[in-house]
């Protein structure tokens, strides 16, 4: 059995979505002063490898803590979308793979963009799904979709159309994944458990693949 950590570490100088503050991690208690170690963490709910709840952008939609715990794990299908700068996954790609994707519960979109984590290129023109492709996926009854880049939408799509399509279908979105190339296309189990925050619009997750 292989277990792959699909999460980036949380640290103060990590990449965050433009306009979001980076995490602050302070040594609140130390062994020398207090006899034990404890850190004070200050960060946004969509920091690092994280999950978006439907209520992230939709009114009257569920928060993460409204969803059953089995919504955060299931069989995965890994879609190769390593298309380079400005690449677009079109609807026909989803339709051609729809039978296999529908046997899974999560689609993990491997854009290859995690290779730029910590570099300015990470905020660039990573591959995205067309809106038609997003709608085709949303019709397959999946629990969620994950990406190894900073967003389900391009950086120049302020209205977040793909977010609205996926979250409107009751799916969760996991962003900033990594190491998706180490998973098989089919047959892996995916785990991404959010913190149990009341009325959570999002949460960091420890995402893991197992096969």
The sign of the torsion formed by the CA atoms of 114, 6, 17, 40 equals negative
Distance from C-alpha of 96 to C-alpha of 94, rounded to nearest angstrom: 5
Q: Which regions of the chain are under pLDDT 50?
A: none
Task: Give residue 75's pLDDT.
Answer: 98
Task: Give residue 53's pLDDT.
Answer: 98
**Residues shown for the chain:** 211
Domain that holds residue 189: 3-210
Answer whether 65's CB lies under 8 Å from 199's CB.
yes
Task: Give residue 27's pLDDT.
Answer: 97
Q: How many structural domains are present in the chain?
A: 1
DSSP assignment of 90-126: -HHHHHHHHHHHTTSSEEEEE-SGGGGTTSGGGGS--
Task: Give residue 132's pLDDT.
Answer: 98
Distance from C-alpha of 119 to C-alpha of 135, rounded to nearest angstrom: 31
Task: Give residue 15's pLDDT.
Answer: 97
Task: Give residue 157's pLDDT.
Answer: 95
Q: What is the pTM of this model?
A: 0.97
Structure tokens at 58: 């939709």
CATH code assigned at 164:
3.50.30.50
Task: Give residue 209's pLDDT.
Answer: 98
């Amino acid at each position: 059995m292989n277990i792959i950590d699909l999460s980036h570490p949380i640290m103060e100088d990590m990449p965050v979505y433009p306009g979001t503050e980076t995490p602050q991690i302070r040594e609140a208690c130390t062994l020398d002063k207090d006899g034990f170690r404890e850190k004070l963490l200050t960060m946004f709910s969509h920091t690092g490898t994280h999950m978006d709840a439907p209520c992230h952008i939709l009114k009257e939609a569920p928060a993460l803590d409204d969803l059953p715990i089995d919504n955060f794990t299931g069989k995965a299908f890994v879609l190769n979308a390593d298309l380079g700068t400005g690449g677009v996954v079109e609807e026909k790609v989803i339709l051609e793979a729809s039978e296999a994707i529908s046997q899974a519960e999560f689609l993990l979109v491997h854009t290859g963009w995690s290779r730029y984590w910590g570099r300015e290129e990470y905020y660039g023109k990573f591959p995205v799904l067309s809106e038609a492709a997003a709608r085709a996926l949303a019709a397959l009854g999946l629990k969620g979709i994950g990406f190894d880049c900073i967003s389900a939408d391009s950086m120049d799509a302020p209205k977040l159309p793909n977010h609205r399509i996926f979250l409107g279908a009751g799916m969760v979105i996991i962003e900033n994944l990594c190491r998706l190339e180490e998973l098989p296309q089919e047959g892996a189990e995916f785990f991404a458990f959010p913190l149990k925050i009341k009325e959570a619009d999002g949460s960091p997750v420890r995402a893991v693949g197992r096969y």
